[in-house]
A and B are shown apart, each in its own frame.
Chain A
Amino acid sequence: MSAPAQTPMAAGEGAASPTRSAGRSGNARLRGLATWETLLALVLLGMLGLGAATSPDVFLTPGNFTNLTAALMEVAIMALPMTLIIIVGDIDLSVESMLGLSSAVLGFLYAEGVPLEIGIVVVLAMGAAGGLFNGLLIARGGLPSLVVTLGTLALFRGLALVVLGPRGISKFPEAFTDFGFGTVPGTPIPWPLVVLAVIAVVLGLVLHRTWIGRQIFAAGRNKDAARYSGVRVQRMKVALFVLSGTIAALAGVILTARFASARADAGQGMTLTVVTMVLLGGVSIYGGRGTIPGVVLAALTLAVLGNVLRLANVSAELQSIAIGLLLIVSVVIPSLARQVSSVIGSARRDRQPPVGVAEPGEVSSP
């Protein structure tokens, strides 16, 4: 612990904390995120190295790349709109059930002779409608998103069971299932990964490069301040839940294609991994902070982790324990880091009163 190395960091954090209510200093926030993403990238590299070292003949093959990316595809796709919803300060627990409902309705319609193209359009519209239902109850009704989406978590899954019952629908056309587990010709890239990449790029640009994104961050940091400065918070929330429902339904279509089978219990328990991915990606559960690149990095990290564990024959039960731990740890670490840095900051202020007085000036100077 050399003093010179520690000083700039502590000064930045110390200066940022008194002004947090008015919006944290941009520099400090960027630095915090950069550190988290660097840490994630290092963990990812470490695991890639571990995978390459422990099972070299399997891990680095194109086939394994396809397996690795395919396994968490639906989770990663649903994590993207979830990122926006958590940044705005809400949560959507119902995505796994919307995925199941989408799969069930798609299978049901196909079994009844409806063309698959029309079936896909219908389930996407249903996803939007389900999201609208969530969004209206939360934004217009003023109900907590946790309880509303816990309710629709049960409701959507129940409807999926009512529609399809315990049976599974298979015998989908080849063109459809090829989309699920086929790859872009000449590459090991599965088609769903292309879908994921497109959604990630679009949502990343919207969140980080447009006024919509700035409004989302503003609403997540301080809902009332955002409303008084002209952000239509309610309407934005409804739109985000519609997006989440639609993309969850799309994930249901992809899952159905990937397994070549439609089931009402598809995706059960997936919400845990979706939320873990988002929080591991550095998105604050309290809202107002997070990035799409961070979540994409977390998706890769979880995919590689799962792959390494599977190649090492670690049981599925241990993997689910690992994901649960990861979820908690990814919230505990930043919160501990903040507490430590605020303790360091206040200790510094106590030692050097003049610095504390000069702080507001320091904030505005850069």
Chain B
Amino acid sequence: MAAETTVPRTGGPGVGKRMAGAIARQRELSLAGLMVVLAAFVAIQAPNFLSASNLTQVTVVASIIAIAAVGQALVILTRNVDLSVEAMMGLVAFVVADLLKFDVLPAPAAIAAGIALGLVLGMTNGFLTAVLRVPAIVATLGTLSIYRGIDFLIAGGKQVTLGDLPAGYTDPARATILGVPIFVLIAIAIVVIVAAALRWTRAGRHVYAVGSNPEAASILGIRSGVVVFGVFSACGLLAGVAGVMWGMNYGTINATAASGVTLQVVAAVVVGGVNINGGSGTVIGAGLGALFLGLISNALILLRLSQFWLQAIYGAVILVAVSLDAFLVRGLKRAALARRSR
């Protein structure tokens, strides 16, 4: 059994992880720098990039992706992956809209129910991976199809439109405080809280420990099953929050809501410097990654390039980010070895 649960990995345990950690810190800075350059370029080419309405739109969509990416980052930090994020978001978005349409619950209760539903869906993923020991890829590929299927069953081909929702329900998506959209503030708050929890709480350190060396973590008495269950549950909870926000932002919801979002979320996480082999990276990076992808998408629209490129760009971003990480880790490790032998 022990041999089966060990994920094959490329980097050595000690040096590689520390190098990857250094890269993650560098990554946040270089990503921020890259975004400033990209934003400046787009702003020169298309001055309406800097209009308040455009900036609000870009950052609001990016903050929804960022919240889902924080959950995905937690999962990837433990060497797992959650492919069902988009189905959880879509199901939550539709269920909340449906509850409101038929006046089952008042808006705050419906929102709470949606977030709770996300938590339950995430706990189901956690149960499958941590308790039944189904590999995350299989478990979440399965629940991706199951959750989306349930979504289609409930929707039955219908959609909830803006007119079905209570008046003012979608206002928070446009509301700002001192010029900053509320959604962005929510995303920043979640990123900061989770980043602090990862850095300064025992549970947070356990997430890194399980991801960087499962055997050592279990020798230290960390119960990796509990940690893995926890991160999948948190991922579901955050997907629930993101799903509710998705519904508020778009207003019109059908059963295909949030299709394809998993790719953006994974791309945001890896471009943000979270190591795909687990154990290193930050949720701040994941949040910046989401903003970066949002910026690219907006740039395509403003520069009048075909939206069809978007999918290919997301794929390329994932490939470039993981290749770059592997390349840098290998180079730094070689340099460290050379220094030691001297």
Contacts and interface: CB of A to CB of B under 8 A. Distances in A.
Interface of A: 20-21, 89, 91, 137, 141-144, 146-148, 150-159, 161-162, 165, 223, 269, 271-272, 275-276, 279, 285-286, 315-318, 320-321, 323-325, 327-328, 331-332, 335-336, 338, 342
A59 to B, nearest CB: 25
6 contacts: A147-B270, A152-B319, A162-B306, A317-B150, A324-B141, A324-B145
A324 B146 contact: yes
Given A159-B312, A324-B149, A332-B134, A148 B141 contact: no
Interface string B152-165: 11000000000000
A156 B315 contact: yes
Contact of A328 (B138, B263, B276, B306): B138
A142 B326 contact: yes
A279 B134 CA distance: 12
B81 interface: yes
Contact of A144 (B128, B133, B276): B276
B141 A137 contact: no
Contact of B148 (A20, A320, A327): A320
A321 B150 contact: yes
Contacts of B270: 147
A155 B319 contact: yes
B306 A154 contact: no
A151 B145 contact: no
Interface stretch (B3-11, B51-59, B105-113): B3-11
Contacts of B135: 285-286, 331
A20 B323 contact: no
A143 B270 CA distance: 13
A223 B322 contact: no
Contacts of B139: 328, 331
B277 to A, nearest CB: 7
A151 B309 contact: no
Interface residues of B, number: 47
A207 B19 CA distance: 40
Given A152-B315, A269-B145, 18 more contacts: A141-B323, A144-B322, A148-B319, A151-B316, A154-B263, A154-B267, A154-B318, A155-B312, A158-B311, A161-B312, A162-B308, A165-B308, A271-B141, A286-B4, A327-B138, A331-B134, A332-B128, A335-B132
B311 A161 contact: yes
Contacts of B81: 146
Interface of B: 1, 3-4, 8-10, 81, 128, 132-135, 137-139, 141-146, 148-150, 152-153, 263, 266-267, 270, 276-277, 306, 308-316, 318-319, 322-323, 326
Nearest to B323: A141
B145 A320 contact: yes
A279 B141 CA distance: 12
Contact of A148 (B144, B149, B322): B322
Contacts of A342: 1
A328 B128 contact: yes
A315 to B, nearest CB: 7
Nearest to A165: B308
A332 B132 contact: yes
A154 B138 contact: no
A95 B139 CA distance: 19
Contacts of B276: 143-144, 147
B134 A150 contact: no
Nearest to B5: A286
A48 to B, nearest CB: 25
B141 to A, nearest CB: 6
B318 A150 contact: yes
A143 B149 CA distance: 32
B149 A154 contact: no
Nearest to B313: A158
Nearest to B260: A154
Given A153-B263, A285-B135, A318-B149, A158 B322 contact: no
A157 B310 CA distance: 10
A158 B145 contact: no
A21 B308 CA distance: 48
Contacts of B308: 158, 161-162, 165
Contacts of A155: 311-312, 315-316, 319
A328 B138 CA distance: 7
Contacts of B319: 137, 148, 151-152, 155
Contacts of A317: 149-150, 152-153
* Listed residue (A144, A151, A279, A336) with the most chain B CB atoms within 10 angstroms of its CB: A151
